[in-house]
Amino acid sequence: MNQGINVVGLYVDDQDAALSFYVDKLGFRVHTDVRNGAYRWLTVQHPEQPTFQLGLFAPGPPVHDEATAQTLRAMVAKGAMPPLVLSVADCRASYEQLMARGVEFTQEPVDRYGSVDAGFRDPAGNGWKMIQAAAGK
C-alpha cells in the first residue's frame, strides 16, 4: 500500500478565478472538478508532479460556518497564510515567462543564500516563493 500526502489545500475566495490563474498562468492542469450541491472539490496538478494535487477550496459550508469562512478569506487576502514554494530550474527565465502571462510579482528575482528566488501571490492572496535551487543541489 502506498502512503503519503496526496492533496494539499489552499483557501481561495473565487474557485473559477483560482482555476484560471493556476491553469492559464502557472501551467497546472485540472485533476478533479466535482460538485456536491454548493460544495466544489477542485484540484490541480503541476505537470511534472502527477501524483500530487493542490486543492483550491472555498471556505464555507459544509466545513465552516460563515463567520469562520469570512475570517479565513480575510486572512488569505492579507497574505497571512504560509507561502508555498515552486521549484524552478531558472528563476529569472520563469519570472519573465510568468510576468508575460500576467502573474503579478511581489518580489523580483533576488540572489540569496546561493540560490535565486522571487515572490508572487495568487488572486486570493496566497503567497508563493519561486526558488531556483543552488548550484550543485
CA dihedral sign of residues 89, 91, 95, 96: negative
Q: What is the pLDDT of residues 23-70, one digit of tens each?
A: 999 999 999 999 998 899 999 999 999 889 999 999 998 899 999 999
**Is there a domain that residue 2 lies in?**
no
**Is there a domain that residue 65 lies in?**
yes
Residue 106 is part of a domain; what is its CATH number? 3.10.180.10
Grid cell for residue 63:
466545513
pLDDT band at 134 (very low <50, low <70, confident <90, very high): confident
Measured CA to CA in angstroms, residue 132 lies from 22, 53, 66 at distances of 20, 21, 39
**Is there a domain that residue 137 lies in?**
no
What distance in Å separates the CA atoms of residue 7 and residue 29, rounded to the nearest whole number?
Answer: 14
Give the pTM.
0.91
**Is there a domain that residue 100 lies in?**
yes
- Could you give the 3-state DSSP secondary structure of residue 68? helix
Domain count, the chain: 1
Domain of 98 in residue numbering reads as 7-132
Q: What is the pLDDT of residues 110-121, one digit of tens each?
A: 999 889 999 999
